[in-house]
Structure 1
Amino acid sequence: MSDHSNPLRIALAGLGTVGVGVIQLIEANREIITRRAGRAIEIVAVTARERSKDRGVDLTPYRWMDDMTAMAGAADVDAVVELIGGSDGPALTLARESLDSGKCFVTANKAMIAHHGMELAALAEAKGLALKYEAAVAGGIPVIKGLREGAAANRIERVYGILNGTCNYILSAMEKDGRDFADVLKDAQEKGFAEADPAFDIDGVDAAHKLAILAAISFGTQLDFDAVEIGGIRKIMAADIAQAKALGYRIRLLGLAEVDGSNGDASLFQRVHPYLVRTSHPLAHVTGPTNAVVAEGNFSGRLLFQGAGAGDKPTASSVVADLVDIARGETGPAFAMPGHMLDKLPPAKSGHRIGKTYLRMLVADKPGVLAEITAAMRDAGLSIESLIQQEASDDGSALIAMVTHAGQEKAITHTLAALSGSDSMLGEPMVMHILGE
């Protein structure tokens, strides 16, 4: 491994679009990669579920290994690349066995890193090996490297962004065309921007995996995926998009993390949820299946990383960038500092957080409904900054959308609890927080 006159020999598990992209990239950019890495990077072994499938690349130069975990013990392999996915199962077995066998490990598997990153990082550290996962967060954007290396001298005060391209495609299409969620989702599936089963994306789980990883690197804290508050975009209506626009906002599914408090009473806040973003903010202008991450450093100021969050070529670009690091002998800690130095912070309680909130309710069109809502808000200590009430529909319902003045989040909870038994309320209210500038 340390002999830089010899090639870095890699084994590749998983030959989907990203795996094929890695082969194509190493072939196409062989000369520049060798010069930048200081040595050649050579694929020596590959594996996938189906051997006979035509993937549009010539696999004959590489040894096919039916037993994936045999890659971990192969004498002619220096680093293993895992592109099969899944938080547990074969991917996790391969990760553990590769590191146990003294192989550096590169993955694009955000679920595995979010759930098992601490264990794998400790294993890599004990062996002096690299554990790299640039491709696991935001596809081709070098945000892990940017935070771990470029912003290493900064205290990051907040990290947030658009971490799921499927959701951003759906929301920006709803914005552009005025269509409802279900209609745009169907279109996204037909175009390949959404999976046949889109739950991981549209319910916020995919973004939560990525946020947990970003938080650990940004704040020097242990991964805590289970503490992420997760919400998705299923319940957003075309009317919400229109009302937000009228109020000067756009709706984006954001992951946001920051450390509340300091020293002995610090806690880690992590949330994935639809937010209203002012049209003056850079994230309001990120459209389509694009990712964007904002990190606010105490010396660097606001940093914006933006680009393709998925796709074969961008993701392959991040995988091979990790291999270039390994070829150079860069085997630093996976989460920017040694594992024993990462803080274990309790989850922050969100009720005391102060901010503005968007609240949309479908109500019965009858006298006194608005007074009932404002009384519930008054009792909870909330006041209204702006309000839009639509004309009543033929079915006797009316839509009310409002933005509150800044107040504690638990006041919204108390308001909705007070209104929950009312026959004036039709359907479930929609609550979205407003991104503070």
Structure 2
Amino acid sequence: MMRTRPLKVALLGCGVVGSEVARIMTTHADDLAARIGAPVELAGVAVRRPSKVREGIDPALITTDATALVERGDIDVVVEVIGGIEPARTLITTAFEHGASVVSANKALLAEDGPALHAAAQKYGGDLYYEAAVAGAIPLVRPLRESLAGDKVNRVLGIVNGTTNFILDRMDTSGAGYSEALDEATALGYAEADPTADVEGFDAAAKAAILAGIAFHTRVGIGEVHREGITEVTAADIASARRMGCTVKLLAICERAADGRSVTARVHPAMIPLSHPLASVREAYNAVFVEAEAAGQLMFYGPGAGGSPTASAVLGDLVAVCRNKLGETTGPGESAYTRLPVSPMGDVVTRYHISLDVADKPGVLAQVATVFAEQGVSIDTVRQQSRQDGDGEASLVVVTHRALDAALSGTVEALRKLDTVRGVASIMRVEGE
């Protein structure tokens, strides 16, 4: 039996994602009603520019007063796709206070203030769903929160930013430099006019905080995620990775410590073997590799951004939340019972690829090896090549065995002090082996 009274939905934001959500709600209204068990009605759309023409949306639904919209009292679900911290945080909290559940795509807000939002949802008996906040259309949040709820997740390793993956892929496949690849990404609409959030790793770090919190049932704040971007990645780094049988990706890595007593979350460029499933992720696609104790290795792959993919995730959450409304229940809330501490980057065990410009004379390799030994870091491979221009310098590439990141950082600092080391050309971690 289908309930005849519609569930009312308020939409906050009507940009690329919001307009697609509105379109799908209209064109697929009958299907959505059949899946939910009741019709859903778009009851209002809050925007900043009311004069803009929005095809397919009744102008009578448009309002600039988002607060009044979420305070109406007859709204069942608020869909927030405006992004940013404020006014999104206040609007979501107000929605809970007035009896609505919330579907959000706001990774920045969830990474910064997720626990408070979950607490508000629980206090007022609402749902907080946010599949679209991480990896676009890829079903990832719900599998971690629900499908793997009975398992123990030990590691989440992924490409969660399409812009940086496109840039690094172009650098690898076409030989383009960073600036050239960024210009192409901007021209194609993959990069914003100000790409800082993407290329400096802020976007991926927010997603890593969310994923780590869900995977390890503990609270991980955005400030606890180690972050490095791709702006320093060079064509030489890409070429060196290729010689090692690797490619370079910006990775979000969330790990449970071997003793199970802490977790780490980090975002940085890394070399990964071409044999790893993530190495084949091209263009602006996202992919996340999950390692669980019972389920083993799982791979989630698909478009990580864009209006239609993100709207697909939003609508999936909308259906779930509406079903909960009809059943007078709520879905899973925050799970942070483990209360595990988040260890600093220095406690991470990893490998380094270090490229040095050194004096081309006998004894240099021995000096460099001594520094590594003094820091307790074992060398895996060394490659030395004299410069063609005969300037008395050589290129020395060292790849280490696994060691504490703090020891590896200390090694680099000690190398910089050697008179025979003219410069540290690049430093990159090696992952995924």
* TM-score bucket (shorter structure): over 0.9
* Cα separation, 2, equivalents of 1:410 and 1:391: 30
Aligned residue for 1:356, secondary structure, equals strand
* Cα separation, 2, equivalents of 1:118 and 1:145: 17
Aligned residue for 1:89, secondary structure, equals coil
For 1:267, give the aligned amino acid. S
Deviation string 1:245-267 (CA, Å, 9 cap, x unpaired) is 1111111111111222557xx12
1:283 and 2:278 are equivalent in the alignment: yes
Matched with 1:163 is: 160
Cα 1:19–1:353 shift into 2, 3 Å: closer
* Cα separation, 2, equivalents of 1:221 and 1:258: 12
May I ask how many residue pairs the two structures share in their alignment?
A: 427
Matched with 1:147 is: 144
Q: 1:98 aligns with which of 95, 98, 104?
A: 95
For 2:134, give the aligned amino acid. V
Aligned residue for 1:53, secondary structure, equals coil
Q: How does 1:250-289 map to 2 (within 5 A)?
A: 250-260=247-257, 262=259, 266-289=261-284
Q: 1:405 aligns with which of 366, 378, 401?
A: 401
Q: TM-score under structure 1 normalisation?
A: 0.92
Cα 1:333–1:395 shift into 2, 3 Å: farther
Matched with 1:11 is: 10
For 1:76, give the aligned amino acid. D
* Cα separation, 2, equivalents of 1:33 and 1:200: 34
Residues 4, 328 of structure 1: 8 Å contact kept: no
Matched with 2:297 is: 302
* Cα separation, 2, equivalents of 1:121 and 1:6: 28
For 2:278, give the aligned amino acid. L
For 2:184, give the aligned amino acid. D
For 2:341, give the aligned amino acid. P
Larger mean Cα displacement after TM superposition, 111-120 or 398-407 = 398-407
Cα 1:334–1:366 shift into 2, 3 Å: farther
Cα 1:97–1:423 shift into 2, 3 Å: same
1:113 and 2:146 are equivalent in the alignment: no
Cα 1:71–1:362 shift into 2, 3 Å: farther
The alpha carbon displacement at 1:174 in A equals 0.4
* Cα separation, 2, equivalents of 1:365 and 1:386: 19
* Cα separation, 2, equivalents of 1:386 and 1:286: 27
The alpha carbon displacement at 1:402 in A equals 2.6
Matched with 1:313 is: 308
Q: 2:228 aligns with which of 231, 239, 264?
A: 231
1:187 and 2:184 are equivalent in the alignment: yes
Q: 1:83 aligns with which of 81, 84, 99?
A: 81
Q: 2:240 aligns with which of 243, 247, 270?
A: 243
Larger mean Cα displacement after TM superposition, 193-202 or 314-323 = 193-202
Larger mean Cα displacement after TM superposition, 10-19 or 362-371 = 362-371
* Cα separation, 1, equivalents of 2:292 and 2:93: 34
The gaps in structure 2 that reach 5 residues or longer are none
* Cα separation, 2, equivalents of 1:130 and 1:170: 37
Cα 1:107–1:193 shift into 2, 3 Å: same
Deviation string 1:95-143 (CA, Å, 9 cap, x unpaired) is 1111111111111110000001100000101111011111100011110
* Cα separation, 2, equivalents of 1:48 and 1:365: 63
* Cα separation, 2, equivalents of 1:292 and 1:51: 37
Residues 49, 64 of structure 2: 8 Å contact kept: no
The alpha carbon displacement at 1:376 in A equals 1.2
Larger mean Cα displacement after TM superposition, 271-280 or 416-425 = 416-425
1:200 and 2:197 are equivalent in the alignment: yes
Residues 354, 424 of structure 2: 8 Å contact kept: no
1:52 and 2:29 are equivalent in the alignment: no
Deviation string 1:54-92 (CA, Å, 9 cap, x unpaired) is 34x232265222211111111332111111111x22111
Residues 355, 436 of structure 1: 8 Å contact kept: no
Q: TM-score under structure 2 normalisation?
A: 0.93
Matched with 1:379 is: 374
The sequence identity of aligned pairs, in percent, is 40
The alpha carbon displacement at 1:400 in A equals 2.7
Residues 167, 202 of structure 1: 8 Å contact kept: yes
Cα 1:426–1:186 shift into 2, 3 Å: farther
Over aligned residues, Cα RMSD in angstroms? 2.0
Cα 1:363–1:203 shift into 2, 3 Å: farther
Residues 135, 304 of structure 2: 8 Å contact kept: yes
Aligned residue for 1:19, secondary structure, equals helix
* Cα separation, 2, equivalents of 1:141 and 1:389: 43
Cα 1:412–1:135 shift into 2, 3 Å: same
Cα 1:78–1:387 shift into 2, 3 Å: same
* Cα separation, 1, equivalents of 2:189 and 2:359: 40
Matched with 1:32 is: 31
Q: How does 1:327-406 map to 2 (within 5 A)?
A: 327-329=322-324, 331-335=330-334, 337=335, 341-392=336-387, 394=389, 396=391, 397-406=393-402
* Cα separation, 1, equivalents of 2:149 and 2:60: 38
Matched with 2:63 is: 65
Matched with 2:129 is: 132
Cα 1:8–1:390 shift into 2, 3 Å: farther
The alpha carbon displacement at 1:398 in A equals 3.8
Residues 345, 405 of structure 2: 8 Å contact kept: yes
